[in-house]
Amino acid sequence: TAGITQAPTSQILAAGRSMTLRCTQDMRHNAMYWYRQDLGLGLRLIHYSNTAGTTGKGEVPDGYSVSRANTDDFPLTLASAVPSQTSVYFCASSAGDGSGGYNFGSGTRLTVV
């Protein structure tokens, strides 16, 4: 089934530890995005990539890093997790030309304790 796969589905992480959230798409979309979603705040863009080899900062990039070594994969890394990074993280992709909107992964629920 075509789409976006995120892993893990959920995770409890000790503060100060690092973690990488994985995201893989098989639609050959140029653009990929990482969002966090917190109650009452909606979706906030963390980082994005318009094409393989390039990345950019979104609205809330601090404490997060990304890489885009190829078209399919767009991992998000938390170098040293803090409790304020407790959230639901969604990866999304789009063709990048305005058509078709965004396709979302099923999300990763992260709790930092």
Partner 1 sequence: GQNIDQPTEMTATEGAIVQINCTYQTSGFNGLFWYQQHAGEAPTFLSYNVLDGLEEKGRFSSFLSRSKGYSYLLLKELQMKDSASYLCAVMDSNYQLIWGAGTKLIIKP
Residues that bind partner 1 (CB under 8 A): 31, 40-45, 48, 90, 94, 96-98, 100-107
CB of 13 to partner 1, least distance (A): 20
Nearer to partner 1, 42 or 113 (CB): 42
Q: Coil, helix or strand for 92?
A: strand
CB of 42 to partner 1, least distance (A): 4
Degrees to nearest 5, angle at CA 34 with 28 and 36:
150
Instruction: Give the HSE-up count for residue 6: Cα atoms under 13 Å, Cβ half-sphere.
Output: 24
Q: Which is nearer to partner 1, 71 or 108 (CB)?
A: 108
